[in-house]
Chains A and B, each alone.
With several copies, the nearest count.
Chain A
Amino acid sequence: MTVRLLYFAWVREKLGQAEETVSLPAELTTVADVLGWQAQRSEIHRNVFTSAGIVRVAVDQTHAQPSVNIKHAREIAFFPPVTGG
């Protein structure tokens, strides 16, 4: 499955990239699975994605809890808690 991954704020800065297009392993089915997959990609990824639950996820531009299915996602975004307003 090919999907666009987006990164914002300090997640973007620490990873050194704003977006990438990847083929996710077929066995990943939920947001929690994708977070686990991210955490094992590199030392930097481990630091960013195991900041115990701090990184938030949006699937196709909608806030997504860990249990949300990502099988048909076209765009998955990773970011810290929002601080606008």
Chain B
Amino acid sequence: MAIRVQTEDFDIGREIAALTAGRIDIGAVVTFTGLVRGASPGKSLATHSLATMTLEHYPGMTEAELERVEAAALERWPLQASLIVHRVGTLAPGDNIVLVVTASLHRQAAFEAAEFLMDYLKTQAPFWKKEAATDGTGDWVDARASDDQAIARWR
């Protein structure tokens, strides 16, 4: 079980290999990777191209919150291993933002735990995204109502 906040990119293959190396008790590994898209949600690339996305966070609380999220997942599912990596700083379209990895005996637990971790992370972890468009405009990303709906199903 591990959480990391970093500016550098992550290597998904290497992270999975580190979690599973030498183990024969893992039957299923699920990964979720979030990437920077070239346009804001609901806006077309033609009219609103993204230049950069900057991620700010609350050092200290971020780590505490991600640890709480991971502990909550472990209470609900029999996970053999899990990992959350979240990048901060300035990113470009196509860049990785976040990685969640879950490992379990069977696929259902691994899938559900990964979705749970992402839903909690989206609504609880203190990260904020600011977009800068290629036309010079830019603003903080609004929270999505669909994320609040997603989290509600786990209660």
Q: Is A80 touching B140 in the complex (CB atoms < 8 A)?
A: yes
Contact of A79 among B97, B128, B130, B147 (CB under 8 A): B128
Contact of A85 among B61, B97, B142 (CB under 8 A): B97
Q: Is A83 touching B140 in the complex (CB atoms < 8 A)?
A: yes
Check A85/B122 contact, CB under 8 A, given A61-B61, A80-B143: yes
Flag A35-61 by CB within 8 Å of B: 1 or 0 each: 000000000000000000000001001
Instruction: Tell me, yes or no, whether B37 is within 8 Å of chain A by CB.
Output: no
| Chain B facing A: main interface SS | mixed
B18 CB, nearest partner CB in chain A, Å: 22
**Interface size, A (range):** 10 to 19
Q: Is B58 touching A85 in the complex (CB atoms < 8 A)?
A: no
Contact of B140 among A6, A9, A63, A84 (CB under 8 A): A9
Check A77/B58 contact, CB under 8 A, given A62-B64, A83-B142, A84-B86: yes
Q: Is A58 touching B61 in the complex (CB atoms < 8 A)?
A: yes
Task: Specify which chain A residues have a CB less than 8 angstroms from the CB of B128 in the assembled complex.
Answer: 8-9, 79-80, 82-84
Q: What is the bound-complex CA distance between A77 and B64, given in angstroms?
A: 14
Instruction: Tell me, yes or no, whether A16 is within 8 Å of chain B by CB.
Output: no
Flag B118-130 by CB within 8 Å of A: 1 or 0 each: 1001111111111
| Max count, chain B CB within 10 A of own CB: residue among A9, A58, A62, A63 | A9
Contact of A58 among B58, B144, B147 (CB under 8 A): B58
B63 CB, nearest partner CB in chain A, Å: 9
Q: Is B34 touching A82 in the complex (CB atoms < 8 A)?
A: no
Instruction: Tell me, yes or no, whether B60 is within 8 Å of chain A by CB.
Output: yes
Task: Specify which chain A residues have a CB less than 8 angstroms from the CB of B147 in the assembled complex.
Answer: 85
Q: Is B140 touching A82 in the complex (CB atoms < 8 A)?
A: no
Flag B92-120 by CB within 8 Å of A: 1 or 0 each: 00000110000000000000000000100
Q: Is B127 touching A84 in the complex (CB atoms < 8 A)?
A: yes
Q: Which residues from chain B sit less than 8 Å from chain A, CB to CB?
A: 34, 55-58, 60-61, 64-65, 86, 97-98, 118, 121-130, 140-144, 147
Q: Which residues from chain A sit less than 8 Å from chain B, CB to CB?
A: 6, 8-10, 58, 61-63, 77, 79-85
